[in-house]
Amino acid sequence: MENEKNERSNIQDMVKGALIIAVIFFHSFILKDVTTYNEFHVILCLFPCVMGVFFFYAGYNYQVGKRTPGQNIVRRTKQLIIPLVVMIFVDILLVGGLQLIYKLTDLTGIWHALKQFLLSEGGIVHFHADISKTNYELSLPLAILWYLYTLYIISIIFYLIVDKVIIKLSRFIPIVVILVLLSFAIGQFIDPKLPYALQSYPLILAIMLTGAYLSQHSVLDRPLNNKKSIIIACVQMVIAESLIFGIGLLCYYAFGAATVGALPGGELNPVIKGFDAFVTYILSLFGTIFIHTLMRLITKIKIFSLFFGYLGKNVALVYVTHPIFLAYIHTLIFGRNGNVLGWFQPYAYTIITLILFIGISLLIKLIINKIKSKKNKVEEGN
């Protein structure tokens, strides 16, 4: 039982490691040229549902009865709100400081980047706020923090209702349907980009509840112990990825909608609007099936298990620090020029970020272990 639990945890770490690489690449992509944000790129159709899978896992890892709702909320506060506050100051100090030193911005530019985060992307539009001098290298590390406060707010609602919702299929289905329809209605008839991504809250809650419900039936962890089960798993992967890729292509060529199902900053697609709620929900499920099954199949390959697993175990730290690495790479190595390496530049940003993170984090752990070892020897000597 313990081995099964450890294997499940390791597979999830591998999945999260792969997903965070996709996040780094996407941010590298838009850092190279922010105008590509709304353009169509085939590579972004392959797996746009990264954030949806993260939200699905947040629900899937919920354990009924392990903690009270109050204990879960306190735990989430420590996990999400404390890092959120800390990273606001760290981003301003490290990235804003770098931009000031190189005279690439001024205090107004830093304030505008902070204002963009505080009001949110949707809030800037609705409140007609002036952020004309925003420093983009700083606005990116601040902007990605939307995930922390969004997950926190939705988790509070999730913990208060999850036990009552997932207990019966007859209760679970209508509630999830209502939540997805609510996001559809808000996105379609009000705005797909409200302040603080409010339009996506019901949708994200539906994804988390779905994860929690399917976890009761161990949907992602059924045995792969014979040839037949492996073949079935491979077929499921092919179907899942074909649907993800096919829906992405269909939405673009039929409606001109790029990067559907991605929830960038919590935003629904500006072209298909509320319909993106349905797309995101579907892609989150199929995306989780695909990436989780893939990692289960390659978990025995040591190099993949170590690489993806290490990133996955440190995924929270990678998430909040990778835009800082990107800002330094973009400014110091490439001189803020997105065309130095052409199409390869986002890949270069991603590779350098991974090398720096792994190298620095391993060095810090080595130093900490040496300090602990020295301290233990001193205590033993006394």
| Residue 1 clears pLDDT 50, i.e. is over it | no
Can you tell me the distance from the alpha carbon of 167 to that of 298, in angstroms, rounded to the nearest whole number? Answer: 34
Helices (H), 299-344: 302-313, 315-328
Contact status, residue 168 vs residue 215, Cβ threshold 8 Å: no
Q: ∠ at Cα 305 (301, 310), nearest 5°? A: 160
Dihedral over alpha carbons 301, 303, 304, 306 (to 10 degrees):
110
| Of residues 55, 85, 61, 9, the one with CA closest to residue 266 | 55
Q: What is the pLDDT of residues 29-70, one digit of tens each?
A: 888 777 666 778 888 899 999 999 999 999 999 999 899 999
Q: Helix-strand-coil percent breakdown of the chain, rounded to 5?
A: 80, 0, 20
228-257: buried (b, 16+ CB within 10 Å) or exposed (e) per residue?
eeeeebeeebeebbebbeebbeebbeeeeb
Determine the pLDDT at residue 381.
67
Overall average pLDDT of the 260-281 stretch? 96
Q: Residue 361 — very low, low, confident or very high, per pLDDT cuts 50/70/90? A: very high
Among 342, 192, 166, CA closest to 260 = 192
Residue 375: band (very low, low, confident or very high) from pLDDT cuts 50, 70, 90: confident
